């Protein structure tokens, strides 16, 4: 597995890349992609970093696994490739966006437009075996993405962290809330949304209000 991250990210995370656990992770991922169908494609594993520069981060959204269906995952959490049917969680994200800011329901689930504006769409685990949710968990990815979150928390200021669901909330426990805005809600999955834990928490308008208060450009969701 080639680590294809832009120069600034590489400098920020070089210490992680040199750790023994990361070498073990690379070997595991290489073997999986050689013998199993895995997602996203190799060239998209680090897409979240390629689309959102460290010095441009305004918002961090934390997901869990990439989608494990054919042609879905594009390396950005909750995002799918053009022409792919919207997964249920993404449908609920767009429904909340429509309720919150009046943005009409989108046909495309490709969230690259968000990423290019400074939204880091980070999955906790960056790869997955086809049809097997969680199959690449506990192999080192979580340690790596914990380090990413901690570096953002320590070295940036005024970032909005959107933590959706218990997994993301645990992932964000070490964020410095004295210098960043952390907005928590239930997961956008139908199970959570149907229990009243998702709709109505206004993450998009609250994010933009915070960014505007800091003199930053709002996200065009």
Instruction: Identify which of 206, 32, 201 has the alpha carbon closest to the alpha carbon of residue 126.
Output: 32
Contacts of 142 (CB under 8 A, 6+ apart): 124, 125
Residue 121 pairs with which residues in a beta bridge?
Answer: 61
Q: Widest CA span of the chain, in angstroms?
A: 50
**Dihedral sign for Cα atoms in the order 58, 59, 60, 63:** negative
| 176 is annotated as an active-site residue | no
DSSP E strands in the chain: the ranges are 38-39, 59-63, 119-123, 128-129, 160-164, 181-185
What is the C-alpha to C-alpha distance for residues 115 and 195, in angstroms, rounded to an integer? Answer: 29
Active-site hit among 65, 100, 146, 176: 65
Residue 217 vs residues 16, 58, 59, 103: alpha-carbon distances, Å: 31, 9, 12, 18
Tokens matching residue 47:
């897409």
Task: Tell the burial category of 85 from Cβ atoms under 10 Å away from its Cβ (0-12, 13-18, 19+).
Answer: exposed
Tell me the C-alpha distance between 79 and 36, whole Å: 22
Which amino acids are annotated catalytic?
A: 65
């Amino acid at each position: 597995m080639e680590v294809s991250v832009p120069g600034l990210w590489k400098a920020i995370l070089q210490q992680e890349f040199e750790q023994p656990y990361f070498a073990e992770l690379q070997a595991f991922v290489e073997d999986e992609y050689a013998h199993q169908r895995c997602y996203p494609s190799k060239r998209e594993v680090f897409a979240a970093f390629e689309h959102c520069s460290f010095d441009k981060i305004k918002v961090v959204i934390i997901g869990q696994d990439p989608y494990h269906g054919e042609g879905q995952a594009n390396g950005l959490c909750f995002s799918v490739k053009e022409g792919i049917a919207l997964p249920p969680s993404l449908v609920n994200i767009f429904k909340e966006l429509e309720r919150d800011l009046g943005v009409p329901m989108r046909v495309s689930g490709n969230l690259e437009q968000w990423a290019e504006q400074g939204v880091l769409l980070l999955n906790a685990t960056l790869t997955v075996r086809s049809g097997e949710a969680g199959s690449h968990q506990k192999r080192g990815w979580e340690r790596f993405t914990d380090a990413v979150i901690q570096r953002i928390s320590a070295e940036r200021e005024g970032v909005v962290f959107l933590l959706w669901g218990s997994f993301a909330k645990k992932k964000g426990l070490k964020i410095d809330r004295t210098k960043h805005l952390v907005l928590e809600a239930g997961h956008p999955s139908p199970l959570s949304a149907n229990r009243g834990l998702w709709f109505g928490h206004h993450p998009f308008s609250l994010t933009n209000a915070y960014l505007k208060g800091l003199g930053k450009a709002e996200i065009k969701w």
